[in-house]
């Protein structure tokens, strides 16, 4: 028996298909005896793991680990599982071991770390634990040898989604993962590509997957969505792709294929890519149900965009904000504010830029994040020198959890007053234009927030917005962005 474990990563109301584990399950289906344990659904996953360990001959525990709270849950469960079943090997896969391979292996309870795409590596690792193959021959694997030394095998060349079987939705209780959002009553998730061809130096994807992107064929995406609609009544989709659109012909074909499904959908895209599409392609995308697109605008200053290696100009963001309005697609622009080279200048320029966007397109939604360097394969830190933790336990401390969640990165270059300015500005913009994504927000709450924030926004008075915080608590405003679900 093989256990695939997806530790708790989010609250029940934000639960989505655990695609990372479903993709490993897909290659085991029909050939191996396996079970999926999802901490987002199972209220006591550690007892389930323990019971499985007792009742079955478990050959391998495969754990999916994303940086942040999921890593903490993985750490606690694995520690406990190792104590109760010391002979069962444990492998970690996902973004945490891909980005922090050595750190993951510094835990006594992690025997193997899988870097990047996991399907084939996991199958080959099964041969290793069954004594049929030497670990050093498995691409994408890092392991501890008999004397405890770390051995890193060559990287695995990534394959496109079409090379692997469909997700095994039938092996989980799908109804638990299909929930209402502003897109529809039954929203599901799908990822129709892997990797990203850009090399923005603040993003972890390039370190985990290299700088290539492989896309699913439009025919397969259509077939999967059709299956989700027919079998589970799904009426809307959130695409997880890091970069949903790469080529106009692909986007056009996909849009035409999925139009008859009448689903509303959300995705992430690049500003420059979309600007390159002609009007008829953008209309086809809209007709196919595209409701909102998340764009990493990152900054309103070209010197910062260059620093981030974003390969984008701020003027392009303004152009897109205005053009996309004609097609009825809501843009959601994300900014990373407080660049360490000159955090004051960056912040002020960025806030000014956001005001220009709002003038061009008041519907545009704004997300502000504090600049947080992302360790890229234990070496580069987005241009900043920082000492990162060397064990999962240290990553689990409050200081580093806050850092990972970008809540309070405690960056030495971000003065508390500047951080407050960023947070207050975000709060006031969010109140002035409450997001359409908040389906729980009553009309009176929307009006109250708008009324309280309008004068502040107009007069640029961002300090001490207590009354808005109070109103948000009163209405129980949450941050219901699809992106952060």
Among 119, 298, 346, 365, binds ligand B12 (CB under 6 A): 119
> What span, in angstroms and rounded, lies between the C-alpha atoms of 93 and 145?
18
Interface with ligand B12, residue 20, by CB under 6 A? yes
Residues 65-84 that bind ligand B12 (CB under 6 A): 66-70
Cβ(423)–Cβ(466) below 8 Å: no
CA 32, 214, 330 angle in degrees (round to 5)?
Answer: 110
Q: What is the DSSP letter of 244?
A: -
Within 10 Å of residue 316's Cβ, how many Cβ atoms?
Answer: 16
> What span, in angstroms and rounded, lies between the C-alpha atoms of 311 and 306?
7
> What span, in angstroms and rounded, lies between the C-alpha atoms of 367 and 332?
7
Q: Which stretch binds ligand B12 (CB under 6 A): 29-37, 94-102, 284-292, 423-431?
A: 94-102
Q: What is the 3-state secondary structure (H, E, C) of 279-312?
A: HHHHHHHHHCCEEEEEEEEECCCHHHHHHCCCCC
Binding mask 385-424 for ligand B12 (x = CB under 6 A): -------------------xxx------------------
Among 34, 81, 95, 425, binds ligand B12 (CB under 6 A): 95
Min dist CB 310 to ligand B12, Å, is: 13
Cβ(419)–Cβ(431) below 8 Å: no
Min dist CB 84 to ligand B12, Å, is: 19
Interface with ligand B12, residue 135, by CB under 6 A? no
Interface with ligand B12, residue 331, by CB under 6 A? no
Among 103, 181, 187, 191, binds ligand B12 (CB under 6 A): 191
Residues 30-69 that bind ligand B12 (CB under 6 A): 40, 62-64, 66-69
Give the H or E element holding residue 61.
strand 60-64
DSSP 360-399: H-TT-EEEEEE--PPPBTTTB-TT---PPPSSHHHHTSHH
Min dist CB 284 to ligand B12, Å, is: 24
Among 117, 301, 339, 472, binds ligand B12 (CB under 6 A): 117
Min dist CB 178 to ligand B12, Å, is: 13
Min dist CB 464 to ligand B12, Å, is: 26
- Residue nearest ligand B12, Cβ-based: 93
Among 34, 122, 353, 433, binds ligand B12 (CB under 6 A): 122
Residue closer to ligand B12 by CB (options 63, 427) is 63
Q: What is the DSSP letter of 8?
A: -
Interface with ligand B12, residue 9, by CB under 6 A? yes
Give exposure, 346-360, as e/b (b: 16+ Cβ within 10 Å): bbbbbbebbeebbeb
Token digits for 245?
């659109």
Interface with ligand B12, residue 364, by CB under 6 A? no
Min dist CB 156 to ligand B12, Å, is: 10
Residue closer to ligand B12 by CB (options 254, 485) is 485
Give the total of residues touching ligand B12 (CB under 6 A). 41
Interface with ligand B12, residue 240, by CB under 6 A? yes
* C-alpha R_g of the chain: 23
> What span, in angstroms and rounded, lies between the C-alpha atoms of 220 and 192?
9
Q: Which residues contact 19 (CB under 8 A, 6 or more apart)?
A: 167, 189, 190, 191, 240
> What span, in angstroms and rounded, lies between the C-alpha atoms of 100 and 102?
6
Residues in contact with ligand B12 by CB under 6 A are 9-10, 16, 18-20, 23-24, 40, 62-64, 66-70, 91, 93-95, 99, 114, 117-119, 121-122, 191, 203-205, 240-242, 374, 404-406, 484-485
């Amino acid at each position: 028996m093989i256990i695939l474990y997806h530790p708790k990563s989010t609250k029940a109301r934000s639960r989505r298909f655990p695609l990372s584990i479903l993709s490993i399950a897909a290659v085991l289906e029909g050939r191996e005896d396996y079970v999926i344990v999802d901490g987002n659904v199972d209220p006591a996953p550690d007892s389930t793991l323990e019971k499985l360990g007792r009742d079955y001959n478990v050959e391998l525990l495969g754990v999916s680990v994303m940086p942040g709270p999921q890593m903490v849950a993985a750490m606690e469960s694995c520690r406990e599982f190792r104590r109760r079943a010391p002979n069962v090997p444990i492998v970690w896969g996902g973004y945490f071991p891909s980005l922090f391979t050595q750190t993951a292996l510094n835990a006594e309870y992690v025997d193997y770390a899988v870097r990047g795409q996991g399907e084939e590596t996991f199958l080959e690792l099964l041969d290793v634990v069954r004594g049929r193959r030497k670990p050093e021959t498995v691409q994408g694997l890092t392991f501890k040898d008999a004397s405890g030394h770390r051995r890193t095998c060559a990287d695995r060349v990534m394959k496109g989604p079409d090379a692997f079987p469909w997700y095994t939705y039938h092996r989980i209780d799908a109804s638990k993962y299909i929930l209402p959002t502003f897109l529809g009553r039954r929203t599901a998730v799908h990822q129709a590509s892997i990797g990203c061809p850009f090399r923005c130096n603040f993003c972890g994807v390039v370190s985990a997957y290299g700088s290539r992107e492989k896309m699913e064929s439009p025919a397969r995406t259509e077939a999967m969505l059709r299956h989700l609609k027919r079998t589970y009544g799904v009426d809307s989709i959130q695409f997880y792709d890091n970069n949903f659109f790469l080529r106009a012909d692909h986007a056009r074909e996909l849009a035409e294929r999925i139009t008859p499904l009448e689903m509303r959908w959300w995705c992430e895209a690049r500003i420059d890519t979309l600007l390159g599409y002609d009007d008829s392609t953008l209309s086809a995308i809209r007709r196919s149900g595209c409701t909102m697109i998340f764009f990493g605008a990152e900054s309103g200053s070209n010197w910062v965009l260059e620093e981030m290696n974003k390969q984008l100009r701020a003027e392009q963001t303004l152009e897109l904000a205005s053009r996309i309005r004609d097609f009825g697609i809501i843009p959601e622009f994300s900014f990373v504010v407080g660049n360490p080279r000159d955090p004051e200048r960056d912040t002020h320029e960025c806030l000014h830029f956001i005001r220009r966007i709002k003038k061009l397109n008041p519907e545009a939604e704004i997300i502000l994040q504090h600049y947080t360097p992302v360790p890229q394969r234990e070496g580069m830190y987005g241009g900043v020198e920082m000492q990162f933790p060397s064990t999962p336990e240290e990553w689990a401390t409050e200081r580093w959890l806050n850092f990972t969640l970008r809540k309070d990165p405690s960056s030495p270059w971000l003065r508390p007053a500047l951080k407050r300015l960023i947070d207050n500005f975000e709060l006031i913009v969010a109140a002035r234009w409450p997001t359409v994504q908040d389906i729980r927000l009553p009309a009176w709450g929307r009006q109250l927030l708008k009324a309280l924030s309008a004068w502040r926004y107009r007069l640029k008075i961002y300090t001490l917005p207590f009354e808005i915080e109070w109103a948000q608590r009163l209405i129980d405003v949450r941050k219901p962005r699809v992106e952060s679900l």
